[in-house]
Structure 1
Amino acid sequence: MKALRRALYLTHRWLGLGMGLLMAGWCASGIVMLWHTWPQPDARALAAVPAELHWPASIPNLRDLDKDKRFQAFQISMVGQEPVLTLTPEDGPPFALDLRTGHAGRIPPEDAASSASRYARATGAQGQPVFDGLTTDDQWVLDTHGRENGFYRFLFPDANHIQVYVSSLTGEVMQATTRTTRLWAWAGAIPHWLYPAVLRRHPALWQQVVIVLSGTGVFLTITGLWIGVLRLRRGSRFTPYRGWHCVHHISGTVFGLLALLWVTTGLLTMSPGGLFHSNPDVVSPLRVTGSVTGAELQALLSRLSDAAPSGWTGVKSALVSGHAFLHVMQASGAQRLDGTLTPAPLSKEQLAHLLLPKGLIRNAESLTFLPSGDAYYFDRPTHKRHFPVWRAQAVDGTLIYLDAQSGAVQAMLDQPARQSRWLVYGFHDLDFWPWLREAPTHWSIALPLLSGVLCVFLSGVLIGMRRIRLMRRKRC
């Protein structure tokens, strides 16, 4: 028994020397993330980016728009001086078509610069954008939708050092950072998620590194809790230790289980062994949207060109069960049109009629209108959700959230995703109930708890540093 206890002490000691600083960093960065999360574009500035669409007199020959091919999404936007159609096939990468020439390919950087300029001016930035190349793996776009197609990066040499990333296919501003948001990310999200680009560019390697390190942290915390229990005293002195050893023992006794919970749920966010991994086919938006053929799209484009509506700043598809609807953006607001360009407001009855044959709802009562969040779909500091939405529950239990105006898919959650919401993210983020997600309440609860866990690991780091100094002195 004494040999086992000795081995336990030595394992915890030397493992703590290597892991203590990392785990203290996780806690400190978690505190930063209570206020500063991953950089995101400013919503008001994004609204200033779209320009009014100028329709061509006639639709050119779109040789790359195969009439027999099926598409699950499309959109039309003004990029520089050119209207551009971006298409997402059922299979294969998205591609863009210039509606004046019919040519396919990336939009020119000089046209994308106009989108970057409008965004930057809306934030108060001055000066002209400086083109800084095409990127797919910049530090700030590693998880941004569409990065595999490439983003143009533009720099603005003003006081805020704004960087704007524009899609090379659609001309949309997809990401924007300032010097301040980048600095806070280096203090918060990047160390907390182990997100330096040099590692995150390799998703499989990054996942394994996080799993191994967080798994080691779980083992370290368990051994610490075991030692802490073994060293408890019933007498007048609660602990046999003094100084930082005393702080480490007491803080570990009080906050150790919470530390173990956070490290374990951090490990589980990586879905080790496929645990809590969603089925891609079940949560694919294509399951809801269906698709349309290239021939149907060409007919729709001809109607748009003939009508040449004014005041539109963008058109996005809003397909539901293979039926084509348009979500049209205008300065006065947005509206939903059907394939004949007739206003078609989305109603519960229409949505139920489209979803029921595909088993995406059990019955009309399975559709619920949500003006605000529910237990699964709600705003997070790192992810703002769109409201209002319709929530549909499919026959297989999948929860589907659709934009209440356009019908566009906002989120799909199968059983593993719903389980991880409660068993993983609920504990890790402390967001079980709406009142816990309110900023003042969340801060007042999370900050003391994070500080207590930080004390556990930080005192362990100080003990380790002291032991290293003692070992060096003995060698001398």
Structure 2
Amino acid sequence: MSARFSRLLHIFHRWLGISAGLLVLGWFVSGLVMLYSPFPRLTVDERVQHLEVLHGEAVQISPAEAATQCPGTPRGVRLAMLGERPVYHFSGGKPACSVWADDGRWVGPVSAEMALEAARRFLPGVTLTEPERIERDQWSVYSSYNAHRPLYRIAADDAAGTVLYVSSKSGEVLADTNRRERLLGWLGSVPHWIYFTPLRGDDLGTWRVLVLWLPPIALLTAVAGLALGIQRVRVRQRYPRGQITPYHGWKRWHHLAGLAVGGFAVTWLLSGWLSNHPFGLLEMSSPPPGSAQRLAGGPFRPSADVALLRRQLAQVPDAREAEWYRFGGRNYLEVRTPAGPRRLNDQAHAAAPIDVPTLSAAIEAIEHRPVAQAELIDHEDLYHYGRNSPAVLPAVRIRLAAPQDTTWYLDPATGRILQRIDAANRWHRWVFNALHRLDFPPLASLPGLREGLITLLCLLGACLAGSGCVIGWRRLFRRRPPPA
């Protein structure tokens, strides 16, 4: 490396580091926090734990009859209790549509009193504040809530500092957060994803520009620093006093940290940037259009048989929620309880798992390619595994006889598509999951070791970025000698 080029690279790294140093420091710290505390969400299992027992005898209206009250064509429907009354919640519409299952009337618009009552049933025995009507706040920025806006925000006077978000269309509790989750969210997910409320409204243009251009600035900073760090290190012909670095003080620590984790910083920043698919890079593919509908045997059709629904619910006395699904042209009911789900067929009997040959034939018809291998797996593999939530197991794995080695994973209990892996998705798995989350063998099967290694690397990365920030601060505000 010539002296002139080295000097230019040094200046380039210095000023890019000054502009992006705090950003990189924030990403390392927030990434470490996210490892242990993801963005707060209300999962299906958590929601079921707070629901009341379904009163099947109170259901007087079929889902098909209730669906006529909703605009458009629903893509799914759930049955639950709202207060003392059963209610159908239809999905796929904007706005969300819910219909009382006892008289067939539309639930919405939900009043503040109804929202407060829903919150009381979600958190019994806790003092609640008056509902505040909002469009969105920091913890309700997900687009999945758009069909339910505006929302009611209700704070609880409990030790955890719980805040609930209730739909103004369905009366359901959609999300809950507590003080700890919000604090860690501000330190983790919010700065890491740049998920600040003003940027995550209806117009995402500014947010997309930021996630497109900020990471490359940080990446170029890391690449330049790594090149300089390697160029300045001496292992054999060392600097005076046997040092491998010519620097002292903060610069010395910055150089050593860069040698230790500079490569990780580069791959981590690159994979994080590519996860947003800039300029179409690393885009993931989807199953062929209409795949889910073909597996279902046609579009979703709400059941018109109230008597069947009552018989099905009678089989599960502790039912809290029921959701319909279809496979092969038949309707099935998944009844959820605090102990787990039970699935019933259209004869009110336990639904048998869908066998491997049936699923294999369905995928062959969708892809128009022969199946090379179809099997039931009861363990995770390189592409079907869980992190924040367990992977669905057992699962049916179907490999096609195709150049891309396309592989499908399906849930044999319902026929639901879990994922479809082809060349594009395989690239994403190894470039993002492996490089950014260290999800590769053998670490993927050793969660404790993986988390420990990520923690160590993030701390070293924070030291690298933090020392760079100190050096940049001193450069900007150093005292210059007075002119002679």
C-alpha distance in structure 2 between counterparts of 1:116 and 1:407, whole Å: 35
C-alpha distance in structure 2 between counterparts of 1:434 and 1:130, whole Å: 51
C-alpha distance in structure 1 between counterparts of 2:12 and 2:79, whole Å: 61
Q: Secondary structure of the residue that 2:305 maps to in structure 1? A: helix
Q: Is the 8 A contact 1:72 1:289 kept in 2?
A: no
C-alpha distance in structure 2 between counterparts of 1:338 and 1:387, whole Å: 21
- The letter of the residue matching 2:148 is N
How far has the Cα of 1:94 moved from its partner?
A: 5.0
How far has the Cα of 1:70 moved from its partner?
A: 5.7
C-alpha distance in structure 1 between counterparts of 2:444 and 2:209, whole Å: 32
How far has the Cα of 1:193 moved from its partner?
A: 1.9
Matched, 1:274 2:280: yes
| 1:336 aligned partner | 343
How far has the Cα of 1:423 moved from its partner?
A: 1.4
How far has the Cα of 1:218 moved from its partner?
A: 1.0
C-alpha distance in structure 2 between counterparts of 1:299 and 1:16, whole Å: 64
Percent identity, aligned pairs only? 25
- Select the residue among 100, 105, 108 that pairs with 1:98: 100
Q: Secondary structure of the residue that 2:50 maps to in structure 1? A: coil
CA deviation map 1:392-436 (0-9, x unaligned): 437476554444434444445554233211111211111213644
**1:456-475 equivalences in 2 (<5 Å):** 456-470=464-478
How far has the Cα of 1:81 moved from its partner?
A: 2.6
How far has the Cα of 1:353 moved from its partner?
A: 7.4
Q: Is the 8 A contact 2:30 2:192 kept in 1?
A: yes
Alpha carbons of 1:251 and 1:134: their partners in 2 closer, same or farther (altered >3 Å)?
closer
Q: Which residues of structure 2 form unaligned runs of 5+?
A: none
C-alpha distance in structure 2 between counterparts of 1:221 and 1:332, whole Å: 49
CA deviation map 1:334-362 (0-9, x unaligned): 32222343332224258537735643695
How far has the Cα of 1:268 moved from its partner?
A: 0.8
Q: Is the 8 A contact 1:155 1:162 kept in 2?
A: yes
C-alpha distance in structure 2 between counterparts of 1:399 and 1:174, whole Å: 34
How far has the Cα of 1:453 moved from its partner?
A: 1.9
Q: Secondary structure of the residue that 1:77 maps to in structure 2? A: strand
Matched, 1:385 2:393: no
CA deviation map 1:52-75 (0-9, x unaligned): 333446428947529998653222
Matched, 1:297 2:302: yes
Alpha carbons of 1:250 and 1:34: their partners in 2 closer, same or farther (altered >3 Å)?
same
C-alpha distance in structure 1 between counterparts of 2:460 and 2:6, whole Å: 27
Matched, 1:313 2:331: no
Q: Is the 8 A contact 2:22 2:465 kept in 1?
A: yes
Q: Is the 8 A contact 2:352 2:413 kept in 1?
A: yes
**1:385-424 equivalences in 2 (<5 Å):** 385=390, 387-393=392-398, 395=400, 399-424=407-432
Root-mean-square deviation over aligned CA pairs: 3.6
Q: Is the 8 A contact 1:58 1:305 kept in 2?
A: no
C-alpha distance in structure 2 between counterparts of 1:185 and 1:270, whole Å: 20
| 2:5 aligned partner | 4
C-alpha distance in structure 1 between counterparts of 2:431 and 2:324, whole Å: 36
Q: Is the 8 A contact 2:377 2:393 kept in 1?
A: yes
- Select the residue among 430, 451, 458 that pairs with 1:450: 458
C-alpha distance in structure 1 between counterparts of 2:181 and 2:270, whole Å: 29
| 2:194 aligned partner | 194
| 2:263 aligned partner | 257
| 1:235 aligned partner | 237
Matched, 1:87 2:82: no
Q: Which residues of structure 1 form unaligned runs of 5+?
A: none
| 1:120 aligned partner | 123
**1:166-185 equivalences in 2 (<5 Å):** 166-168=166-168, 171-185=171-185
- The letter of the residue matching 1:117 is R
Matched, 1:72 2:75: yes
Matched, 1:346 2:353: yes
C-alpha distance in structure 1 between counterparts of 2:215 and 2:107, whole Å: 43
Q: Is the 8 A contact 1:163 1:176 kept in 2?
A: yes
| 1:53 aligned partner | 54
- The letter of the residue matching 1:337 is L
C-alpha distance in structure 1 between counterparts of 2:134 and 2:284, whole Å: 32
CA deviation map 1:65-101 (0-9, x unaligned): 2999865322222122332223345x87653222233
Matched, 1:141 2:140: yes
How far has the Cα of 1:6 moved from its partner?
A: 2.8
Q: Is the 8 A contact 1:51 1:313 kept in 2?
A: yes
- The letter of the residue matching 1:101 is D
C-alpha distance in structure 1 between counterparts of 2:198 and 2:258, whole Å: 34
CA deviation map 1:234-268 (0-9, x unaligned): 52222222111122122212321111111111111
CA deviation map 1:123-144 (0-9, x unaligned): xx72246422254x33223237
Alpha carbons of 1:215 and 1:446: their partners in 2 closer, same or farther (altered >3 Å)?
same
Q: Secondary structure of the residue that 1:33 maps to in structure 2? A: helix
Alpha carbons of 1:402 and 1:314: their partners in 2 closer, same or farther (altered >3 Å)?
farther
Q: Is the 8 A contact 1:77 1:170 kept in 2?
A: no
Alpha carbons of 1:291 and 1:379: their partners in 2 closer, same or farther (altered >3 Å)?
same
C-alpha distance in structure 1 between counterparts of 2:359 and 2:224, whole Å: 54
- The letter of the residue matching 2:352 is P
Matched, 1:245 2:245: no
| 1:160 aligned partner | 160
C-alpha distance in structure 2 between counterparts of 1:355 and 1:317, whole Å: 20
TM norm structure 2? 0.83
Alpha carbons of 1:353 and 1:66: their partners in 2 closer, same or farther (altered >3 Å)?
farther
Q: Is the 8 A contact 2:355 2:412 kept in 1?
A: no
Q: Secondary structure of the residue that 1:325 maps to in structure 2? A: strand
Aligned positions, number:
467
How far has the Cα of 1:461 moved from its partner?
A: 0.8
C-alpha distance in structure 1 between counterparts of 2:313 and 2:268, whole Å: 56
- The letter of the residue matching 1:299 is A
